[in-house]
């Protein structure tokens, strides 16, 4: 250590500042006289200065003490300390000038200090005092750094956040990182240097990793382009480089970032896509000042919709769910996040017609977003009657009440599993689609269906399951090596639901562009690497076989369907078979079968309503023979 661990006594700092001021004063005299030290000139000037040097020292002492420039810890000198020193120096110069005028006019006709000397002394003393502090700070920072390097790090992002990350790492004595380089997507920054560290374009990342022997990459861009981020992370993972990221600035503790806040990047971040462009004005015109009902409000999609709708300032937002604890948690979040929002929380079950009737009569909603449903394929395969009661009968209750209440728009949240269904859950959602779509001509209500695939991070989805299995040491269970799924983030899905709802004129089924399907086993492998583990060494993947009713590949459109483009590039309109009165009657007959609790009879009826429903890996396959 070049500096003592304990703080320097304050009196030492005071004396040091005064000595540096005196040095600045004498150096200013030397400059004034062109650095010529003639004895007679020195005697003449000293004769004048000797009568005022004491006043000069007293002024400096009291002004410096008043501005408390000695109070700051020198090893942690900041810009605030810098401005305090500048103000103290200027104020002391003004006092010296004022007392000099008094001496000149009322005493011996001499100034305390010549004007040119006084001005030069101001700049020299300020520079010396400030400079000495920053030199000491630099020495301290260097002396506290560990000379051992554990990791060579690349910072992705050469902007403000990247610079803050570099400085945070360098001033943290606990980290033994060496910043090897910056990488950035902006080619104009390539070959420049940021505080001595070279900036490279991301195209050179792989070469840079191998050349520098990099162990870790830190993503320090607050809103990186999803495609670029995915490409950078893939390069790192293929080269066994750990990836961490800087959290959003609003989450920094007391507005400051520390190395302890660095976190591993999540798989959700890699599967997300570019932000969606919405017709904000149209959505706002539809929802602002209206009463909006969201069923299943405590669920993943339901709560996401609530947060999105709240931004458009409805006159009242009604949150309906039967799950007491989750809706309570959502209630508290909404109160905190949207303090001016008018909303009501209703505990209720969509399967109860009387309870739903009371909700419609009490609040008279103008818009309904129906997200309440049972969604887990294996559970519904074992409990078909419950799938019918919630997904079909619950939807029928709301559809019928919406028509009676002359609701303007009713948006049904459906699923890709409703296309060529192979399981009870998917078939029940397809039947709900049929009932809602067929009811479009029965009243003034416009019924709109939205259909999309798996949602990242939703309750019970594969990603939280994999993460839990990784945290427990494995193994990760995948049903089949070939299985693929479409994925979409919760905000993305909810934004598209609102957009589709605003553009819908009634009777449409809107299909969302889900991007490319992802192999689940590849997802598991990437999550293992993101957690800093090695497949086969630290954790295993176990294949368990397809679950009852599970598909290898999900579809968004049935064979008999085709699509038409809309004004939004990520939303397509499906042209589907229109259900007739006979199918509507069969839906009612299906609901009445709930009392029998005969699973075979119930599923057989479902297959009659949805002819394309062919069971897969299920006890109900016998009904297809």
Q: Provide the annotated active-site residues.
A: 417
Residue 198, strand partner residues:
193
Angle of the 520-530 helix axis to the 462-471 helix axis, nearest 10:
40
* Whether 511 contacts 563, CB under 8 Å: yes
Q: Phi then psi for 253, rounded to 5 degrees?
A: -70, 120
User: How far, in Å, CA of 565 to CA of 571, rounded?
Assistant: 7
Which residues does 299 contact at the CB level (< 8 Å), separation at least 6?
321, 323, 326, 371, 372, 458, 459
The upper half-sphere exposure of residue 331, i.e. CA atoms within 13 Å in the direction of its Cβ, equals 15
Q: Is 477 left (phi over 0), alpha (psi -120 to 50) or beta?
A: beta
* Whether 270 contacts 236, CB under 8 Å: no
Q: Phi then psi for 191, rounded to 5 degrees?
A: 80, -5
Which residues does 531 contact at the CB level (< 8 Å), separation at least 6?
264, 470
Q: Output DSSP code: residue 535.
A: B
Q: Phi then psi for 207, rounded to 5 degrees?
A: -65, -40
User: How far, in Å, CA of 620 to CA of 616, rounded?
Assistant: 8
User: How far, in Å, CA of 525 to CA of 523, rounded?
Assistant: 6
516-534 as b/e: b if 16+ CB within 10 A: ebbebbebbbbbbbbbeee
3-state secondary structure 395-431: HHHHHHHHHHCCCCEEEEEEEHHHCCCCCHHHHHHHH
225-240 as b/e: b if 16+ CB within 10 A: ebeebbebbebbbeee
For 2, counting Cβ atoms within 10 Å of its Cβ (0-12 exposed, 13-18 middle, 19+ buried), the class is: exposed
294-311 as b/e: b if 16+ CB within 10 A: bbbbbbbbbbbbbbbbbe
Handedness of CA 591, 592, 593, 596 (dihedral sign): positive
* Whether 312 contacts 369, CB under 8 Å: no
Count other Cβ atoms within 10 Å, centred on residue 622.
9
For 330, counting Cβ atoms within 10 Å of its Cβ (0-12 exposed, 13-18 middle, 19+ buried), the class is: buried
Angle of the 520-530 helix axis to the 226-238 helix axis, nearest 10:
70
Which residues does 156 contact at the CB level (< 8 Å), separation at least 6?
162, 182, 183, 184, 202, 217, 218, 219, 220, 221, 224, 232
User: How far, in Å, CA of 591 to CA of 167, rounded?
Assistant: 65
User: How far, in Å, CA of 327 to CA of 321, rounded?
Assistant: 7
Q: To which residue do tokens 């490409």 refer?
A: 231
Count other Cβ atoms within 10 Å, centred on residue 478.
22
Q: Phi then psi for 577, rounded to 5 degrees?
A: -65, 135
């Amino acid at each position: 250590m070049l500096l003592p661990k304990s703080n320097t006594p304050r009196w030492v700092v005071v004396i040091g500042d005064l000595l540096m001021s005196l040095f600045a004063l004498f150096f200013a005299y030397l400059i004034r006289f062109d650095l010529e030290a003639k004895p007679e000139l020195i005697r003449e000037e000293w004769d004048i200065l000797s009568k005022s040097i004491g006043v000069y020292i007293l002024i400096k002492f009291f002004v410096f003490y008043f501005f408390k420039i000695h109070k700051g810890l020198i090893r942690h000198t900041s810009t605030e300390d810098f401005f305090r020193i500048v103000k103290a120096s200027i104020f002391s110069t003004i006092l010296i000038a004022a007392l000099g005028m008094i001496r000149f006019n009322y005493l011996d006709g001499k100034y305390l200090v010549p004007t040119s000397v006084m001005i030069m002394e101001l700049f020299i003393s300020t520079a010396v005092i400030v400079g000495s502090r920053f030199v000491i700070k630099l020495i301290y920072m260097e002396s506290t750094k560990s000379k051992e390097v554990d990791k060579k790090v690349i910072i992705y992002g050469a902007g403000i956040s990247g610079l803050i990350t570099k400085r945070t790492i360098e001033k943290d004595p606990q980290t033994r990182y060496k910043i090897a380089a910056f990488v950035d997507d902006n080619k104009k920054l390539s070959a420049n240097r940021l505080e001595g560290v070279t900036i490279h374009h991301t195209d050179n990342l792989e070469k840079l990793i191998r050349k520098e022997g990099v162990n870790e990459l830190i993503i320090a861009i607050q809103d990186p382009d999803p495609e670029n981020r995915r490409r950078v992370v893939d390069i790192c993972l293929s080269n066994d480089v750990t990836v961490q990221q800087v959290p959003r600035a609003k989450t920094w503790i007391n507005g400051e970032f520390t190395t302890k806040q660095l976190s591993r990047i999540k798989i959700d971040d890699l599967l997300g896509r570019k932000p969606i462009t919405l017709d904000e004005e149209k959505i706002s015109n539809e929802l602002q000042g209206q009463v909006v009902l969201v069923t299943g409000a405590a669920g993943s999609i339901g709560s996401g919709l609530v947060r999105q709708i709240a931004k458009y300032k409805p006159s009242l937002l009604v949150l309906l769910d039967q799950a007491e604890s989750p809706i309570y948690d959502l209630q508290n979040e909404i109160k905190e996040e949207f303090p001016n929002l008018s909303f009501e929380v209703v505990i209720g079950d969509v399967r109860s017609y009387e309870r739903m009737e009371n909700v419609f009569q009490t609040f008279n909603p103008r818009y309904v977003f129906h997200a309440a449903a049972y969604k887990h394929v294996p559970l519904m395969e074992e409990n078909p009657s419950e799938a019918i009661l919630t997904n079909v009968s619950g939807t029928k209750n709301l559809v019928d009440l919406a028509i009676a209440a002359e609701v303007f728009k009713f948006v049904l949240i459906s699923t890709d599993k409703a296309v060529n269904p192979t399981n009870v859950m998917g078939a029940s959602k397809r039947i709900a689609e049929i009932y809602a779509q067929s009811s479009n001509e029965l009243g003034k209500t416009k019924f709109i269906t939205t259909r999309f695939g798996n949602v990242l991070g939703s309750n019970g989805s594969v990603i939280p399951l994999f993460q839990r299995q990784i945290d427990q040491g494995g193994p990760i269970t995948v049903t089949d090596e070939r299985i693929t799924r479409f994925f979409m983030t919760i905000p993305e899905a909810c934004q598209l639901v609102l957009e589709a709802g605003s553009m819908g004129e009634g009777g449409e089924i809107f299909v969302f562009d889900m991007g490319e399907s992802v192999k689940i086993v590849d997802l598991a492998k990437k999550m293992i690497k993101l957690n800093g583990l090695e497949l086969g060494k630290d954790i295993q993947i176990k294949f368990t076989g397809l679950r009852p009713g599970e598909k290898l590949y999900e579809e968004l459109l049935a064979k008999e369907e085709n699509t038409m483009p809309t004004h939004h590039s990520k939303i397509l309109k499906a042209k589907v078979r229109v259900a007739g009165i006979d199918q509507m009657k069969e839906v009612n007959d299906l609901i009445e079968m709930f009392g029998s609790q005969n699973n075979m009879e119930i599923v057989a009826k479902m297959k009659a309503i949805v002819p394309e429903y062919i069971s897969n890996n299920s006890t109900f396959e016998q009904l297809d023979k």
